[in-house]
Chain A
Amino acid sequence: MPQKAEIRARAAALRDGFEAAGAKPVETAILQPAEVLLDLYGEDIRARAYVTSDALRGEQMLRPDFTVPVVQMHMAHGAEPARYTYAGEVFRRQEDDPDRANEYMQVGYEVFDRENPAAADAEAFAVIQDALKGVNLRAATGDIGILTAAVRGLNTTERRKQALLRHVWRPRRFRALLDRFSGRSAVPASRAALLAHPNPMAHDFPDIGMRSQEEVAARIEALREDAEAAPISAREVGLIDTLLNVRETLPYALEHIRDLAVDMPAITEAMFRLQERIEALAARGVDVANLEFEASYGRTSMEYYDGFVFGFYVPGRPDLPPLASGGRYDALTRVLGQGSEIPAVGGVIRPGLLVELEAGA
């Protein structure tokens, strides 16, 4: 294991590099109010962050990442456009794997610039790739925005689209919903019985709890409407499957997605955004011809990424976490800003891992 002082020095050097690239260095508190993080990430964050509390401020979390406090800081007093860099510890609770670090350094680069999203995406990727020059890494990229555009364009009810969009980051539930909405899986017996019942609200149970009988009735109504809606066509499901399976180098992936856009016009705009991003990456000297693109990349991470996503991996070491990762998180800024959105993209490097690799090389 490398010494902490060595990792700190490496982290400081990386941050200096990001500063030279135009970012303003910032600091954030280690203790973060738990409520904001829980509201954003849900119960899963409890399994991954250390929670502590005091009588005055209530539940606090040891910073599991920098994204949320940096966005909040920017919203409170940042002028746009802005670029930030930071270096510091993050804390991740580990319940199952003692080999995974529960405390490690992150150095980040974040871009808040709404002028030209493709250029900002390319900048975040290129600046991080540049900082890792000399290390043999495999880069992976994806774009959650293409999948969400495809879902929004489905020829089905708004309620179904919202249900699918809600589970884009939970591939198993997404698949189960798609199978249900397309009639590929059978309606559960209990639901069929509920829908066949002439008056399901006439029951003998007392009304207890905060979820009211009116809410129950509203959901039954929604289920009835859903049962009457036509299934999502096999053709559309096939297109989504084809899209999810796109896994090629960027130029071929673009070609493939352009083909798909002929049958799925809803993804046209997202396709152009991918094309502009490829051009912007190439303009920054990134070797796009050999850069991998996976349409389902980034769907299982906890983060709120909703557009461009990327990661840098150590070849032949699937046991290691990514050395760097990042993406676009416009949706997160929308939630934190209560409606006012600040397009943002960025990424983090793990200097501890970098030092380890450089020592081993």
Chain B
Amino acid sequence: MSIKLGVPSKGRLMEKTFDWFKARGVELSRTGSDREYAGAVEGIDGVDLVLLSAGEIPRELAAGRIHLGVTGTDLVREKLGRWEQQVEEIEPLGFGQADLIIAVPGCWVDVDTLDDLDAAAAAFRARHGFRLRIATKYHRLVREYLRDNGVADYQLVDSQGATEGTIKNLTAEGVADITSTGETLRANHLKILSDGPILRSQATLWRSRVADVSDMEKATLRELLNRLG
């Protein structure tokens, strides 16, 4: 059997991951047609490439179906409870940097900190009869963060895409999302709360702590990690 390496299956994240491995003498490539998710590994024997959506990689690592995987810190922390016990961080890859932040309309000139957000939420609930809505797909991380910081009278609403548009569409009052440059937020007339990001994320190589490894696989894994380290 071989070591299974999970890598994002498309886009810049895949290309940059391929570049990162290539610079360390391990050549990854997609094989077959453009639409087929099959891949090849050259430069080391006994390693299989598994192309997956970045969002599925944490779960595959935690299930032990892949030994190594490349995905963002944000996704590992959001999707895995007690992530430290399920995966080990091997190496940040230096790209895919993004911050998970909370943003509100720029026209809320009275809100700059979590303290302001909490007070605004209390007043909003009294006025409108429901809790201030924050649109996000990072439910766990955002909820934990707001709880730790004692923010009340808010609710999370699920948004799997175009999150910045929810405010204009009146389905949320604030958003919690990943941003790298803040460009999309600005274009949607939003500003980031100044308390600092909930999480700083980047593409990272992870090792599963639960995947079975035979003696042979162990040797392959050691050699691969030596090359990458």
Give the complex CA separation of A291 and B148 in angstroms.
Answer: 32
Chain A residues lying within 8 Å of B106, measured Cβ to Cβ, are: 203, 205
Binary interface encoding of chain B residues 180-196 relative to chain A, with 1 for a CB under 8 A from any of its CBs, else 0:
00000000010000100
Chain A residues lying within 8 Å of B144, measured Cβ to Cβ, are: 47
A213 touches B107 (CB 8 A): yes
A201 within 8 A of B: yes
B131 touches A47 (CB 8 A): no
Chain A residues lying within 8 Å of B23, measured Cβ to Cβ, are: none
Chain B residues lying within 8 Å of A284, measured Cβ to Cβ, are: none
**Known contacts A166-B122, A173-B118, A176-B150: A42-B107 contact under CB 8 Å:** no
Closest to B106 in A: A205
B154 touches A209 (CB 8 A): no
| Most A-side CB within 10 Å, residue of B109, B112, B148 | B109
B146 touches A43 (CB 8 A): yes
Chain B residues lying within 8 Å of A339, measured Cβ to Cβ, are: none
**Known contacts A38-B155, A42-B155, A43-B146: A209-B120 contact under CB 8 Å:** no
B143 touches A166 (CB 8 A): no
Closest to A162 in B: B122
Give the complex CA separation of A166 and B119 in angstroms.
Answer: 10
Give the complex CA separation of A203 and B139 in angstroms.
Answer: 32
**Known contacts A188-B115, A191-B112, A211-B124: A42-B189 contact under CB 8 Å:** no
Partner of B167 from the list A43, A95, A209 (CB cut-off 8 Å) is A209
B109 touches A208 (CB 8 A): no
**Known contacts A43-B146, A209-B173, A210-B128: A188-B113 contact under CB 8 Å:** yes
B119 touches A170 (CB 8 A): no
Q: How many A-B residue pairs have CB under 8 A?
A: 114
Closest chain B CB from A202 CB (angstroms): 9
A44 touches B147 (CB 8 A): yes
Give the complex CA separation of A96 and B151 in angstroms.
Answer: 21
In A162-214, the 8 Å CB interface with B consists of: 163, 166-167, 170, 172-174, 176, 180, 188, 190-191, 194, 200-201, 203, 205-211, 213
Give the complex CA separation of A176 and B114 in angstroms.
Answer: 12
Give the complex CA separation of A163 and B118 in angstroms.
Answer: 10
B112 touches A188 (CB 8 A): yes
B21 within 8 A of A: no
Closest chain A CB from B108 CB (angstroms): 6
Q: Which of the segments A138-146, A216-224, A241-249, A266-274 contacts the partner chain?
A: A216-224
Q: In the complex, how many residues of chain A place their beta carbon closer than 8 angstroms to a beta carbon of chain B? A: 41
Partner of A205 from the list B105, B140, B143 (CB cut-off 8 Å) is B105
Give the complex CA separation of A46 and B140 in angstroms.
Answer: 10
Give the complex CA separation of A97 and B153 in angstroms.
Answer: 26
A42 touches B152 (CB 8 A): yes
| Most B-side CB within 10 Å, residue of A170, A172, A188, A211 | A211
B189 touches A208 (CB 8 A): yes
Chain B residues lying within 8 Å of A42, measured Cβ to Cβ, are: 131, 152-155
Partner of B109 from the list A166, A172, A201, A210 (CB cut-off 8 Å) is A201
Chain B residues lying within 8 Å of A95, measured Cβ to Cβ, are: 81, 140
Chain B residues lying within 8 Å of A191, measured Cβ to Cβ, are: 112-113, 116
A54 within 8 A of B: no
A319 within 8 A of B: no
Give the complex CA separation of A295 and B163 in angstroms.
Answer: 44
Partner of B107 from the list A44, A97, A166, A203 (CB cut-off 8 Å) is A203
B35 within 8 A of A: no
A215 within 8 A of B: yes
In A34-48, the 8 Å CB interface with B consists of: 38, 42-44, 46-47
Give the complex CA separation of A218 and B111 in angstroms.
Answer: 12
Chain A residues lying within 8 Å of B127, measured Cβ to Cβ, are: 215
Some 27 contacts from A to B, beta carbons below 8 A apart, are: A42-B152, A42-B155, A46-B139, A47-B143, A47-B147, A163-B122, A166-B122, A167-B152, A173-B150, A173-B152, A188-B113, A191-B113, A200-B110, A203-B107, A203-B109, A205-B106, A205-B109, A206-B189, A208-B105, A209-B105, A209-B168, A210-B128, A211-B120, A215-B123, A215-B127, A219-B110, A219-B119
Residues on B lying within 8 angstroms of A by beta carbon are: 81-82, 105-110, 112-113, 115-116, 118-120, 122-124, 127-128, 131-132, 139-140, 143-144, 146-156, 167-168, 170, 173, 189, 194
